[in-house]
Amino acid sequence: MQRLDGRESLSRLIGKKRKRTLSSPLSLLLQSKSKPNPKEEEEKEAEVEAPSTSNDGKIKGNDDPVWVSCPVCGSSIRGTDHMVNSHLDICLTRGAKKKLTQRTLLQLKFCPISASKTSAGVLDNTRAAIREGELVGGKEISDSEMTIERILSENNEKIEHASGAQDVSKLTKCIDVQMEIKTVENTANENIVPQSTMVPKVDTFGVEDSKVLAAFETFIVGRKFHDNIQLQQGCQLFLSRDPQNAKDKHAIKVLSTDLGAGNMLGYLPRELAKFLSPLMDNHHLKCEGSVISISEHPLDPVPIQLVCEKMVASGKGEHDGQQNFEFLWENVKRVTEYGKLNPPSMTKYQQNFCLMIEEVVNNHTHLFTSEEKLLLGSFDSLSNNAQRLFVRIYTRKGPWFRMSNISYPEISDLQTTSEELRLAGYICSFNCSEDVVKYNIKEVLEVLNVFEMREISNSILSKKGVNLTRRQELIDALFSAYEDETCQLLPKMILERAGTCIKISSAADILFWRVQRLFFLNGEQDFSAFLLSDLGLIKFPQYNCAIVHPIFQYRSDLLEYEESVEVAQIMDESLDENNLEKVMRCINVSHEHIQTSFREAAQSSKCGSPPAFFSRFSASWVYSKVLSLGVSVFERERRYEDAIRLLKDLLSQITRDSRRGYWTLRLSIDLEHINRVNESLAIAEEGVLDPCVRAGSKLALQRRVLRLAKPPRRWKTPSYANSVKRTIKEVSVRGRPLTSEIGAKSLFYGFNDELCGVEQLALQYYAGDGGGWNGVHSESGIWMTIFGILMWDVIFADVPDVFRSRFQMAPLDFLTDDFYITRRNLIELHLQKIQKGKAGEILIASWDSHVGTACHGVNWDRHSLSDLRAVVSCIGGSCLASLCRHLALDYRSWCSGMPDLLLWRFHGGDGDAGRAKLVEVKGPRDRLSEQQRAWMLILMDCGFDVEVCKVGSP
């Protein structure tokens, strides 16, 4: 099936398809849903499998009339004797958070308020007291919980560059206050660290009085033992800096003197190394120590004791050096104190998952019901094993997982762990003794291997002469037999072989999909972004997140957005299945919503409305994408009347959108298809005057007007006629073709007698007889890279609401008009520097500061700094500034369609500015697209040397 216009854009919006839809697809497509009242929606209960609270403080659910709160961990459990006893056994086995008495347990006077809510009151009082008279760096302290890793990462750059006493004081106060908040939270929650992992208080002997500064305890993390290393208690250690570490320039290795100097045992925690490493580098601090105890699990952190000794006095600038030393040493003590309350017992992916939940709850708390908050809040009270198991299976495909196949080295006692998750409502489970009718038998079949399915097939299908070997064929055949009820024993046979299986509960699945979408704000990123960042495979840029407006003002807005994404996913899947009936239902649902939502928008006006670029997070924006794809479907089916109806509705309802150019052009073309030429011409003329119609779409409409507006339809020639009809310089290159098949890529023998494409053949021509040019075949790539590097400080400038997640590669308004409007003064000042010839300096400085950091459109590996410097120098400041202005004004419209080749050359010595040329290469059967033609005309207006190179046969 041919690729439809708009399909790729819709697929990017959907991103990685969710494992289950949020509601029944058929009910969603067949029913017309009206928008709920925002105020009423805030009071509604969530449609998840979570308990609700009754008037007497107890918690109740649908299946069981009584729910209670556990006095140990505060989570909700069903109030049956079996459930209560089992849950209490698990909680007491892993260590209670409260001191319980026999009377407490026997009376079962469960507290309806969770520990997190209890601690919230203490925190509110503490924070209020702190904020009464203190500001940190001119800003109020955030109400959100801040882990030490977040505190240090946010102050990292300031710590490294702090020089004055005032800066040091502010940073110290900031960390003091943040540490105090975290300490109060831990105290309020009564988190008792097991004795085996507790770290005693730092024993400081004084900085001025002795070279020996302190004996303190920390951990070895990131352990990578060799098989021949037997770590023992009391083993002597020493530290060594690892500044070349690709993941952390502050890394400090822990080595053993007893086991040989070459045997590395691991690293110090990243948070501690951030402050200790500059002390070792600049102040010659020497640290030695020993192992305190051996952890039960080989991957767990190892408690160690270190003694630090200051070998020499501070160097140059003794006062500043001593001040900097004291600042760093105080922070070493603070980090160690924090480690006492928060030992690094969590795995990294577990920490990341908890961090994702924390940030979403803090930033979007108004979007969750009380039941959803209860389920999210109870995750923190789960044991480490339970949290790890949940994250592991949540990030896998599923939905069902066999307990016999689950094995992770960091998770022990899977049976107890899975039971804990089941009681908390995070997973569902079944075994061979249960009724299979309750489950989707096709999903259960997925957990069996081919051998097991073949064994069942031979038992029930061999009599019919069916002999299948492929996995999908076996699944389809067994499921068909189940539906036909030809074998009554089939469900039992499947369950016996599957054994005990678990899956994420529908309540948790829906809720955490919502959390993930709110955290990343797109469908393309998922939890793996944390892993890519932690491994150093992707380095995200640094920016400030200044949140002023909520993206979703009401919960109803979020639910509508989620439903629209679900419709988009159904549309995408239906096209894959070639299910035209379901595609039409998706189009009808989207069309109805678009009409309803804009009628309501016209009747109501909101004051203090959020930024315009937030519209991409609205249901209407998603439905408009579905309708754009629907237009392509109708055109493919030659249903032009239906396509025209959709296009007219889109243009009448959505008055500000970059897609109006595409819609107007398609409307004009479809009208001509059904011989309504006068109307087609009128639509084209209106489109030319539309400020939202730009780039290739505008040029295409102008050319349509010139073609259709001939007497007697129109007597007056449009003012833009001469500009559109301008001639673009052409050159011809003759080559020896390998093949001339229609539809196949043109291949030629190059000037070196090797096979190549038309672009490589053109590069060879320009390098030789064409003028001795250097060049690359980059299309738009090199220009997007140059723009991103030159405009880096503008792209990542401090602007409210454009940065909401730590994993963004561009601001949220980057592809909208708001990008230029919001930063107009900053952009113009920056372009003035480029126009005055400072682009080379900006390029070098930005490259050195940000090389390897992810940014939208920037490819660090494809082009070297020397090539980019040469290009910038040859283009010249005036042309480069004009090009950057076009991209800043409308990046979305101009980010594609640039000429294939960028050529440059120098005529004289180092002082020669050089020349640059841009070339669009066309094979024997190719022609310029409207977007490419628009770019060529714009580049000519900016002063570039451009031409079209036509490659043909002799």
User: Which range among 546-555, 783-792, 850-859, 910-919 shows the weakest confidence by mean pLDDT?
Assistant: 910-919
pLDDT of residue 192: 33
Output DSSP code: residue 3.
P
Residue range 781-797: mean pLDDT, rounded:
95
Residue range 90-112: mean pLDDT, rounded:
43
Which range scores top for mean pLDDT: 175-184, 472-481, 835-844, 901-910? 835-844
Residue range 701-717: mean pLDDT, rounded:
90
Which range scores top for mean pLDDT: 264-273, 331-340, 645-654? 645-654
pLDDT of residue 104: 39
Which range scores top for mean pLDDT: 198-207, 310-319, 683-692? 683-692
pLDDT of residue 909: 54
pLDDT tens string 800-841 = 999 999 999 999 999 999 999 999 999 999 999 999 999 999
Question: How much is the pTM?
Answer: 0.72
Order of strands across the sheet that contains 501-504: 401-402, 501-504, 427-430
Grouping H, G, I as helix, E, B as strand and the rest as coil, residue 361 is helix
Grouping H, G, I as helix, E, B as strand and the rest as coil, residue 324 is helix
CA distances from 310 to 209, 242, 288, 304 (A): 11, 19, 12, 20
Region 541-601+614-724: CATH code: 1.25.40
The residue ranges of every structural domain in the chain are 212-312+322-343, 371-529, 541-601+614-724, 729-952
- How many Cα atoms occupy the beta-carbon half-sphere of 317 within 13 Å? 9
CA distance 800 to 549: 9
pLDDT of residue 75: 61
pLDDT tens string 640-669 = 999 999 999 999 988 888 899 999 999 999
Average pLDDT, the chain: 77
Does 129 have pLDDT greater than 90? no
Residue range 322-349: mean pLDDT, rounded:
79
pLDDT of residue 344: 65
pLDDT of residue 177: 40
pLDDT of residue 454: 83
Output 463 or 606, whichever has higher pLDDT.
463
CA distance 421 to 406: 15
Categorize the per-residue pLDDT at 445 as very low, low, confident or very high, splitting at 50, 70 and 90: confident
Does 550 have pLDDT greater than 70? yes
Does 700 have pLDDT greater than 80? yes
CA distance 516 to 523: 9
With CA atoms as reference, report the closest residue to 308 among 338, 277, 339, 344. 277
* Domain covering 212-312+322-343: architecture: 2-Layer Sandwich (3.30)
pLDDT above 70 coverage of the chain, percent: 71
